[in-house]
């Protein structure tokens, strides 16, 4: 695979941010000599434009790949919490 493959990766609607990060990193690991700047750009392009993380990565574009993934992991914590809260609310709304 070549680095262009990373631009085909998109966060799936039902996929958590954490799972997208993991899938992206796994795909990148299969590409020998992949430039970090290209990978960081491809990662951002795979996010929905309405995501706060997309906005954050656009506002601070000169981050290293390590910084991009560190920022993404922080947003993943929020995403995990949001998903857990939604599941909790759905369970509370169900009749016993």
pLDDT digits (tens, 9 = 90+) for 48-96: 999 999 999 999 877 899 999 999 999 999 989 988 888 888 777 766 6
Domains and CATH numbers, the chain: 3-93 (1.10.1200)
Measured distance CA(6)–CA(28) in Å, rounded: 7
Residue of 77, 25, 72 whose CA lies nearest to 53: 72
- CA 81, 87, 88, 93 torsion: positive or negative? positive
CB atoms within 10 A of CB 41: 18
Query: What is the total residue count of the chain?
Result: 96
Q: Are residues 41 and 63 in contact, defined by beta-carbon separation less than 8 angstroms?
A: no
pLDDT, position 16: 93
């Amino acid at each position: 695979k070549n680095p262009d493959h990373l631009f085909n990766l998109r966060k799936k609607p039902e996929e958590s941010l954490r799972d997208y990060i993991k899938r992206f990193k796994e795909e990148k690991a299969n590409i020998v000599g992949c430039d970090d700047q290209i990978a960081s750009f491809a990662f951002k392009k795979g996010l929905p434009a309405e995501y706060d993380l997309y906005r954050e990565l656009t506002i601070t574009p000169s981050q290293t790949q390590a910084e991009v993934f560190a920022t993404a992991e922080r947003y993943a914590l929020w995403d995990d919490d949001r998903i857990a809260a939604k599941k909790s609310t759905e369970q509370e709304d169900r009749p016993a």
